[in-house]
Amino acid sequence: MSCAVMFRPENAMKILVIEDDVETAAYIANGMNEHGHAVDMAATGRDGLFMATAGPYDLMIVDRMLPELDGLSIVKTIRDSGVKTPVLFLTALGGIDDRVSGLDAGGDDYLVKPFAFSELLARVHALGRRPPMAAAETVLRTEDLEMDLLKRTVTRHGRKVDLQPREFRLLEYLMRHAGQVVTRTMLLEHVWDFHFDPHTNVVETHMSRLRAKMDKPFDTQLLHTVRGAGYSLHGAEEASCKR
């Protein structure tokens, strides 16, 4: 598992967890510590808001339902005061509206309880290491794989790879999160706009098609399946820590 995360000291984050359920908070904190992140915890909305405004954090994990001050209000407040720290909402509400209202309040991602830790970790990494949104970025590169966002073309090792529009979107998402683990759910939400879990192997099918086009014909494998977690696009040096 630790290999899937590809922990590097420069990636260690300082995370604030605002969660009133002691067991869930401990579960998150232990897991994050294990993966090299420092975690501060707040059990009430008021404490959470205080800590969020006081110290700089790389990321915040905020429960929606909190005593004293709810998660939505905390995030609204800190966003109003100019804090741009990425926020991941946790909620027991699996509602259709809840996701939208969470994102509207200034949250960056949303996870419904109960969740798999690997899912949380993948999302935390995706948020925390979000590259500064360079508007000028028109070419994505991973090893010898190159994607031109303007011309909508993909080349690997100088050879053109023909992709359908949806395959292009899938690869773009993977390349933007190169070196990280992306879960099935993240792909479903961001690539296909599916906010539910299909019963058929949609993700697997599309992945194997993409792999057949951009990996199979070449010597080294870039697209890896991370067992029990998801997928990861990365080069040879990370591949060495396969289980």
Partner 1 sequence: MQTLRLTHAAPVRYALAFAGLSTLAMGALLAVIYWSVISLLERHLDIAIEQQQLALRNQFSNDGRDAMLGLLNQYLGDGGGLQHYLVQDRSGQVLGGDLSSIEPSLGWLDVTISSTGSGTDIRSYDLRARSDYFDEDTYVLVALDTSELAETSNMILWSFGFTLAATIAISLAGGVAIGSALLRRVQTASDAARAIMDGDLSQRIPVAGNDDEIDRLADSLNQMLARIEELMENVRHVTSDIAHDLRTPLGRLRQRLEAARLKERAAGEYEEVIDSAIADTDAVLKTFDAMLRIAQIESGGVRSRFARVDISDIADNVAEIFRPVAEDDGKGLVTDIETGIRVHGDRELLTQLLANLIENALRHTPQGTTVGVGLRMDPVGPCLVVSDDGRGIPEEERHQVLRRFYRLDASRTTPGSGLGLSLVAAVTKLHGAELSMQDNAPGLRVTIRFSRDIEQSTRDPRGATLGAGVGTTRSIGGQRLTRREARIRAHGRESGGHSMPARIEGGCD
Write down the least CB distance from residue 135 to partner 1, Å.
21
Among 205, 220, 221, 225, binds partner 1 (CB under 8 A): 205
Among 150, 193, 219, 243, binds partner 1 (CB under 8 A): 193
Burial 21-37 (b: 16+ CB within 10 A, else e): beebbebbbebbeebeb
Specify the stretch interacting with partner 1 by CB under 8 A; choose among 23-31, 34-42, 134-142, 196-204. 196-204
| CA–CA separation, 120 and 105 (whole Å) | 20
Q: Is 210 helix (H, G, I), strand (E, B) or coil?
A: helix
Cα torsion angle, 21, 24, 28, 33, sign: positive
Specify the stretch interacting with partner 1 by CB under 8 A; choose among 11-19, 32-40, 77-85, 202-210. 202-210
Specify the stretch interacting with partner 1 by CB under 8 A; choose among 14-22, 36-44, 68-76, 91-99. 91-99
Q: Kindly give the residue spans of alpha helices, DSSP state H, lying in 35-178.
A: 45-54, 71-80, 96-104, 117-128, 165-176
Q: Which of residues 149-168 bind partner 1 (CB under 8 A)?
A: 152, 165-166
| CA–CA separation, 45 and 69 (whole Å) | 4
CB 52 within 8 A of CB 79: no
In this structure, what are the phi and psi dihedrals at residue 65, rounded to the nearest 5 degrees?
A: -100, 110
The residue among 78 and 120 lying less far from partner 1, judged by its C-beta, is 120
Q: Which of residues 109-128 bind partner 1 (CB under 8 A)?
A: 112, 114, 116
Write down the least CB distance from residue 168 to partner 1, Å.
11
The residue among 81 and 225 lying less far from partner 1, judged by its C-beta, is 225
Give the strands of the sheet with 159-161, arranged side by side: 139-142, 145-148, 153-156, 159-161
**Binding residues for partner 1, how many (CB under 8 A)?**
27
DSSP string, 152-169: TEEEETTEEE---HHHHH
Write down the least CB distance from residue 101 to partner 1, Å.
10
Position 173 contacts partner 1 (CB under 8 A)? no
CA-derived radius of gyration, the chain: 19
Write down the least CB distance from residue 121 to partner 1, Å.
15
Write down the least CB distance from residue 148 to partner 1, Å.
14
Among 3, 22, 54, 100, binds partner 1 (CB under 8 A): 100
Length of the chain: 243
Q: In this structure, which amino acid lies at residue 200?
A: T
Among 54, 198, 221, 241, binds partner 1 (CB under 8 A): 198
Q: Which residues bind partner 1 (CB under 8 A)?
A: 94-97, 100, 112, 114, 116, 152, 165-166, 192-202, 205-206, 208-209, 228
